Amino acid sequence: MKEDDSLNITLLLIGFFINLVNVFLSHLLKPVLSAFNKNKEKFNDLREEIAELKFNLSKISVVDEFAKFARLQRSLNTLQTKLNDGVKAEESSSVKIQMIISYSARVVMEYTNHHLTSTMVAAV
């Protein structure tokens, strides 16, 4: 009987900690997701290049230097597309990782809760 009690207490504590993790999961995921976000520096560099190109475009007269303006505009459009595609891909992978961690924690929590209740019912 004491062995069952220690098992119940252990399962209860495991269930409590898993529920606690589930409650604070969104706060715990931020550092995990930032560890996976290795392209942040690359995106910052792209943003700096875009800002520099926009500044250079603002200094050029469209009427007087159309060819130079058009070339810079194409470069700007290319960089903006590259940045947007990279950010979308990063957000997509971030959501996937968040879903995997969240659902995994919930599966473990549900299994533990089910095991707890079945063990307690069997003890009665």
Q: Is the pLDDT of residue 124 over 60?
A: no
Q: Is the pLDDT of residue 11 over 90?
A: no
Quick one: tokens of 107? 């599966």
DSSP3 helix / strand / coil % (the chain, rounded to 5): 90, 0, 10
Rounded to the nearest 5 degrees, what angle is found at the Cα of 105, between the Cα atoms of 102 and 111?
140
Extents of the domains making up the chain: 2-123
Residue scoring higher pLDDT (41 or 3): 41
Q: Is the pLDDT of residue 120 over 70?
A: no
Q: Is the pLDDT of residue 30 over 90?
A: no
- Residue pair 104/14 in contact (Cβ under 8 Å)? The answer is no
State how far the Cα of 80 lies from the Cα of 93, in Å rounded to an integer: 20
pLDDT digits (tens, 9 = 90+) for 45-62: 999 999 999 999 899 888
Give the pLDDT of residue 13: 81
Q: Which of 90, 92, 75 is nearest to 41 (CA)?
A: 90
Is 2 strand, coil or helix?
helix
